[in-house]
Structure 1
């Protein structure tokens, strides 16, 4: 089996603002909306239609899509 290493550049932006007892935070995740894999795994798994011993294969978790998060905190 041949393994390869693929580098992925993910860009995030964060900005914070404080006013009196309030903290506001704005985050932009995955700025360029990358469709790459966040992480890849190689292990044996079995679907219902596959043989009982399973099949070794590559599985992956995709990068989360572009999203905006806003949070407000109040300190008392």
Structure 2
């Protein structure tokens, strides 16, 4: 191998090492971003689950009131 070839090889290896280091840095940054957003998504999911439970509860109450109203109407009572 000539001196020029060795120099080119070392330049290429240096470029590859720099590229790998940049990729590792990018991966660490992406992992951090995902972890940050993951916790945000988990919190939003928890809040949505809570809202769904509350809406279900409200829907149940509305259905109970509708059933009572229909019973009163069927008995001939007036609802004011």
TM range (shorter): under 0.3
Higher relative contact order (CA 8 A, sep 6+): 1
With structure 2 as the length reference, what TM-score do the two structures score? 0.16
Larger CA Rg, structure 1 vs 2: 2
Higher strand share: 1
